[in-house]
A and B are shown apart, each in its own frame.
Chain A
Amino acid sequence: MGAMTDQEERTLDLDDDPDFQRHERRVTRLGWIVLSLFVLAGALGLLGPGLFSTTTSGSDQDAVRLEHDRVAHLDSQTRLTLLLDADAARDGTVTVELTGTWFAGVDVQSVNPQPDAQKLVPGGTAYQFTVERPGPAEVTLGYRPQELGRLTLTAKVSGSTVTTHQLVLP
């Protein structure tokens, strides 16, 4: 028995719709492209932690630089590192003042190393650390973002001010 032609197939009691199927295939193909771009953006770090997601705000001249992911996810464990310059210490202590919408929008869960003192300042908080030996140092903050959108963080250390932004996605 030979193969059925398209016209013969149409005589079957079949509830198909070739026009709809062609349209569906076009939409599906577009969908695959969109999904592939979504995965590519994720792999590159445009949607959260990824290959190129880490950014550092501030320059070598600043007493502090901020290293973090450009994009964070709501209520997921996230880290921000304060890279302190050797000149950041004054009289054996470093005071880091953190202010901005970032501070109100995240739940800080850990500060490593632990600060010797923590003080309230308008719009944020200030951490004070004792410096054992002069030299560059790092302070890591572990936190969970609690607000969606673009959060702004300003860090002040020894008169040097650095501002950065982080986007929080659902």
Chain B
Amino acid sequence: MDAVLGALGIYVVLLLVFRLTGKRTLAQVTTFDFVILLIVGEATQQALLGEDFSLVHAALVIVTLVLLQRASDFLAWRFKRFERVTDGVPSLLVSDGAVLKEALDLNRLDESDVMEAARAKQGLERLDQVKWAVLEASGDITIVPVQNAAPQA
């Protein structure tokens, strides 16, 4: 398979795999996840390059992948629906101090994950100090502490 079509195929496969496995795949990388990612990289390299290790082939694969990513970014910026499909949407985990259990379960998270983010980013000690917690589309958990929350309208 030629370089451009091969890169396009791998891009679509990786997009599907990482999109379908959920937001937390890359944001919560354990040691084993890291090893798996290395193996994915190795398998991808084999599929992309095959037995052609020439400079032109490698350059074509790299430029194709980068252009696809930039095109995806542009489409996500231009079309909200495309962004939702490729990047996902944020999920509310703690709403006005109330823990949303269903949202946590849906995202395979628990209160300890929220508290971990609360400690790391805001230095909070208890869950009742969290007013809002959001699982962002990037997989990151952002925290708004009770004392920093904007006054309710």
A interface list, Cβ under 8 A from B: 32, 35-36, 38-39, 42-43, 45, 47-51, 53, 73-77, 169-170
Contacts and interface: CB of A to CB of B under 8 A. Distances in A.
Given A49-B3, A73-B54, A169-B55, 20 more contacts: A36-B67, A38-B63, A39-B4, A39-B64, A42-B2, A42-B4, A43-B5, A45-B2, A48-B2, A48-B3, A48-B52, A48-B56, A53-B2, A73-B52, A74-B54, A74-B55, A75-B53, A75-B54, A76-B52, A169-B54
B63 A49 contact: no
A107 B52 CA distance: 15
B57 interface: yes
B125 to A, nearest CB: 32
Interface in B72-109: none
A39 B60 contact: yes
A77 B55 contact: no
Given A75-B54, A76-B54, A169-B56, A50 B4 contact: yes
Nearest to B60: A42
Contacts of B3: 42, 48-50
Contacts of A50: 2-4
Nearest to A77: B51
4 interchain residue pairs of minimum CB distance: A73-B54, A76-B52, A43-B4, A42-B60
Given A38-B63, A39-B67, A42-B64, A73 B57 contact: yes
Contacts, number: 61
A115 to B, nearest CB: 24
B150 to A, nearest CB: 15
Contacts of A77: 51-52
A6 to B, nearest CB: 23
A76 B4 CA distance: 17
Nearest to A53: B2
A20 B47 CA distance: 41
Contacts of A76: 51-54, 57
Contacts of A75: 53-54
A169 B55 CA distance: 8
B51 A48 contact: no
A49 to B, nearest CB: 5
Contacts of B53: 75-76
A39 B63 contact: yes
Contact of A170 (B56, B63, B66): B56
Interface in B15-72: 51-57, 59-60, 63-64, 66-67, 70
A170 B67 contact: no
A43 B63 contact: no
